[in-house]
């Protein structure tokens, strides 16, 4: 059974449209790259249709961008909600959570990364005794 598009699907579609438009690529060109109709590209970009993993990677290749660029920009709150709602497997939740947090941390400037590291060291410090 196929699920309906969720907030993550809509975010990815909007991001792909912004990238396409910033490169002055017509919808028809993107559709040709995926061998689908321009209407289907429109549905993906509006978030009314899901994008498959293969289509996502094909578009990233066509737009000459890293897939990580899209995923690293996902808001952490939305990613965590997605993990809890759409993924019933506990071991996968932990992996997705770790990857989401890593992407968020990687997006921080070096000073903020150091502050976070210092905070974690403080929280992890256990008094001896």
Where do the domains of the chain lie, and which CATH numbers do they carry? 7-71 (1.10.260.40), 76-124 (no CATH)
Q: Is the pTM of this model over 0.85?
A: no
Helix 90-106 vs helix 76-86: crossing angle, to nearest 10: 170
Q: What is the average pLDDT score of the chain?
A: 78
Quick: pLDDT tens for 66-85: 887 787 776 655 555 555 55
Whether the CB-CB separation of 16 and 9 falls below 8 Å is answered with no
Low-confidence ranges of the chain (pLDDT < 50): 1, 91
Of 27, 11, 120, the closest CA to residue 70 belongs to: 11
3-state secondary structure of 43: helix
């Amino acid at each position: 059974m196929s699920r309906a598009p969720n907030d993550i699907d809509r975010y990815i579609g909007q991001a792909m449209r912004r990238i396409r438009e910033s490169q002055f690529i017509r919808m028809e060109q993107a559709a040709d790259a995926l061998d689908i109709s321009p209407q289907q590209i429109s549905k993906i970009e509006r978030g009314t249709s899901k994008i498959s993993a293969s289509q996502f990677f094909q578009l990233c290749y066509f737009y000459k961008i890293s897939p990580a660029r899209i995923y690293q920009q996902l808001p952490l709150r939305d990613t965590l909600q997605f993990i809890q709602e759409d993924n019933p497997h506990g071991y996968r939740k932990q992996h997705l959570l770790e990857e989401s947090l890593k992407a968020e941390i990687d997006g921080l400037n070096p000073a903020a990364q150091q502050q976070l590291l210092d905070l974690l060291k403080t929280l992890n410090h256990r008094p001896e005794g």
